[in-house]
Each structure stands twice: as structure tokens, then as C-alpha cells.
Structure 1
Amino acid sequence: MNANYVALNADIHKNKKIKEITNFEHAKNFHIASITMDEFGMASTSYPIVFLRNEDKSVSAATILGLEPEQNLFIDDAGKWTVSYIPSIVRRYPFSLVRTSPDSEEMALCVNDDKSLINDKFGIDLFKSDGSPSAQVLKVQQFLAHIHNMQYRSKDFFQLLDNIGLFSEKALEFQQDGEAKSIGGFMVIDYEKLRSLSDEDFIKLRKVDSGLECIHIHLGSLNQMQNLVRLNTIKKAK
């Protein structure tokens, strides 16, 4: 279970409240944020979307938020997010679904147990007086369940992309202050590989709901690198 996260428990948290999150300071050092298929459309309006090879060899998708490690160009000095779409992994804080053990499929609704968030007096109730989850907690459960389900669906689609050989490792190149720079460690869908797909593999993609749409959104989103360069230039000029 993640550090600082504890399972919500009526015996422990029945009379506890949680302060409302009013800024995104918790994400100020996120230079990438993982996303699921259903987020591609909105995410592409502001961020480049790339793919990552995980330690277990699976593939996930992520938005690039900064050009340097621990740099988030989309949070201002007041902790406000500066564009309209905020990745769900950022919005879910301070809640998360966490496996009850590394080998278990059972998930527990957990909360960051930081004392600056959980207290006895201020904020939103976590439980009702009868020990049942509050309306806010039920809303969070529904939101996290949606994310969890989309993560599984997305994982299957990304695995298909990997199995048919569409990924290429690529350093994303950009110009900063007249100097050529690049950031690597990512994968993108190779357009030439996509064009040369066999009919059999192309049909596999067509059968995935929104699959082809996600591919084209991803490819188009790479143009957002220039948006990051612009934001980085503004940040450095301050």
C-alpha cells in the first residue's frame, strides 16, 4: 500500500472530516501524468500524449507536463491548474484505489492520512453518523471505479498496439532559446508502421471501440510539444 495512504475504515474515520482540495500543489513536481483511453481527446488539447514501457513490460499512456524532471508547466505559483483539462490521476487526490496486497485483486478505497487533510473539525464528512459512507465518499468511489475500469480497458488496447508492433522509441525534439534539445524515454506510434499494417492487424484495431480515434489523437497531440516550449519560455522569463 502506498506510503501515507490508509484504507478508509468506519471504525477509524467515522467522526473524521477531510479538507477540500483547493489547489494542485500535490502535483507541482509531476512532469508526466498517466491517462486512460477516454482521456485522450480532452488531454490532447493541451498536452503531448506518449507511451511508456513499465517495469513489468506492459505499456501505459501519459501526458507530458514538463520539459525537465519534476517540472509541471501547467500549475501556476498559486497552485492553480492553468488549462481546462486536468488528468484524472491528478483530480482523484487525496483518494486512491490500492491493492490490499501485492498479489491480491481486491482493491481498497484509501485516503492520504496527512494530518493537514484529515481532522475532527473542518471539511467534508467521510462517514455518516450510522457508519455508512458519506455522499462525497460514494461519489469518489464511483469516480475511482471508472478510472480503474478504464485502466484495464486501456491496458488491453495498449498491449494490442505493442503486439502488432506499432511502437517506436523516440526522443521528442524541440527548440529552446535557439538551441536544439530533446527529451527521451518515451514511445510513440510509428506512422509508417501504421500505414503498412496487414489487413488482419488493421481489423483488430477497428474492433476496439475508439481505438483508431485514439491513435490519430495521439499522433496529433505530439504537436503540443511547441506549447510546452512556449510555457517553458514564459516560466524562465519570470
Structure 2
Amino acid sequence: MASQPQANQLPLFYNSLVPLSSQLHPNHGLKPRGDLGFTRGTHAIPVTVDEFPLVQRHFPIVFGVGDNPAPLALVGLQEGQNLYLDANDQWAEGLYVPAFVRRYPFMLARLSPDAQELSLCFDDSAGVVIENEGERLFNGTDPTDTTKAILQFCEQFEQAVMRTRAFMEELTKLDLLMDGEVTIQREGLAQPAVYRGFRMVDEQKLQNLRGDQARKMVQSGLLGLVYAHLFSLSLISPLFERQFQAAQPATA
């Protein structure tokens, strides 16, 4: 149910990465994005621990499978189905839009495996960085306020990613993650719906932590993040209901 990009692939949503520079893009500008249609083909969006307090109110937070699992906000229960986009590719009103979505098409990346610095790059297939259109990205060789704001957002995102990795390392060290399974029985359905393919915190192991381990989790703020994840799982049932309603034939 919850999958994430492989390490040797471009991140989710990205088809290419081009470094943004005044030499290559002296007259380019940023066009306003009219929709979030690029998210339609995904059901699980990476989130950072900084976002947990907001995400838990709107989406279930689970963890991906594999060697380096990441927190994921579920926006659907089936591969390739985002249930929070309308027919016009607009995000459901009033619901939180994850930073991973808002960052696109920009991101910080190393231009070579041995590069020490991260460079601001963008997906040139996104169609929002256009020559002689939109808000200018450079004045001569100097970045404009628009570019500075993009860079600042991407830097803050990377810092949140580092905090998220530390959180995941701590969960792994404490052996708190287990394979998840959710069973939903809806009135009128002969068989319950069962969802697997994700990881979640094992509440029994959490309760059995030694006192010093639990105290450390409280002091570091990690325990609050764990409970944000656990509380958010109650939203899987409403998400299933949303999926069920979306599958019903339209009435005239």
C-alpha cells in the first residue's frame, strides 16, 4: 500500500533535474502553478517530522517498507490514486498540502557524486520555469527575491529531512516498527477490506520501553511524534470511505 522511490531513482514527481543558474536561465521566470495534477498518480507522499502536527489532522501517517523507510502521508489506499484531487486537479479545500508537493519542481541536489555542496535544481518538464514569462528568477547574475525564497524553502526542507532521518534512526534503534495491517469492515460489503504493505509503530513495544528510553523520547520530543503517527491511523477508515464513494457510479 505504501511505497517510496528507490535510492537510484529520481524522487517522486521528478522526471529530470537541471541546475538553475543565471548563465543557463538569464531570462527565465516562474509561472504560477494552476493545479496539482502532477500528484494524481500517487497515493503516498513523503512528509517530514516538522509536518506531523499538521498532517495528523488530515491524513494517516505511515512508514514505507525497505531499508530506509520514510514517513508517508496516505492520500489514497490504492497505488496511483490520489483521492484529494478534484476533476480540475485542485487539492481538496481546507486540507494540508505536504511540503514535498509545494517544493516541486525545485529541490537541492548534488551535481556530481563527489560534490560537497547542494545546488538548486528544478524539473524542466514541469512547465513552470519558462523563458521570458512569470516572475523573473535572475537580475543579471543576481538571484531575485523569488529565487531567494525558493532556495530558503528548499534549505528548510532539507533541514527537516535531516531531522526526519534522525527520528527514523531512533525508531529503528529501539526496534519500534512493525509490519502494518488494517482491516475495515463496511456495512453492505461481504468481505472486509485489508490493507498491508506499510510499517507502523508497535504500541506493545512502545509500552514496554525501559524508563530511561521512554524519558529520553519525552525529552527529545520523539514520543509526541510517535503519538501523532498513532493518532493519525484513525483516519484510515474515513479515507476508505472516501475511496468507496469515489468508486460509486455517478448519478444523473
Tell me the TM-score normalised to structure 1 length.
Answer: 0.92
Pairwise mapping of residues 40-59 of structure 1 onto structure 2 (< 5 A)? 40-54=52-66, 57-59=67-69
Between 182-191 and 64-73, the greater mean CA deviation after superposition? 182-191
CA distance in 2, matches of 1:148, 1:115: 21
8 A Cα contact 2:30 2:134, kept in partner: yes
What is aligned with 1:11? Answer: 23
Aligned to 1:125: 136
- The 3-state SS of whatever aligns with 2:225 is helix
Match of residue 75 from structure 2? 65
Q: For residues 82-106 of structure 1, what are the alpha-carbon distances to aligned partners after superposition, in whole Å with 9 as ceiling and x for unaligned?
A: 0420110011111111222345452
From 109, 118, 123, the equivalent of 1:107 is: 118
1:91 maps onto 2:102 in alignment? yes
Deviations 1:120-179 (A, max 9, x none): 232121112x32111111111111111100111111111111111111111222235613
Are 2:218 and 2:224, in contact at CA under 8 Å, matched by a contact in 1? no
Quickly say closer, same or farther: Cα 1:102–1:204, change in 2 above 3 A: farther
Deviation at 1:181, TM superposition (A): 1.6
The structure 1 residue matched to 2:49, chosen from 28, 32, 37, is: 37
Q: Tell me the secondary structure at the aligned position of residue 212 of structure 1.
A: helix
> How far did residue 59 of structure 1 move?
2.9
Distance 1:115 1:38 in 2: 26
Other-structure match for 1:74? 84
Which one of 229, 233, 238 corresponds to residue 222 of structure 1?
A: 233
Q: TM-score, normalised by structure 2?
A: 0.87
Any stretches of 5+ residues in structure 1 without a counterpart?
A: none
Of all paired residues, the percent bearing the same amino acid is 26
Residue type matched to 2:171 in 1? L
How many correspondences in the alignment? 234
Asked whether the equivalents of residues 136 and 144 of structure 2 are also in contact (C-alpha less than 8 Å), the reply is yes
Which structure 2 segments of 5+ residues have no match? 1-8
Equivalence for 1:199: 211
| Alpha carbons of structure 1 residues 14 and 28: separation in structure 2 relative to 1, 3 Å | same
The root-mean-square deviation of aligned C-alpha atoms, in Å, is 1.8
Given that residues 105 and 126 in structure 2 are in contact (C-alpha distance below 8 angstroms), is that contact kept between their aligned partners in structure 1?
no
CA 1:162/1:65 → structure 2, altered by over 3 Å: closer, same or farther?
Answer: same
Task: Give 2:39's aligned residue.
Answer: 27
Structure 2 residue 165 is the aligned partner of structure 1 residue 188: no
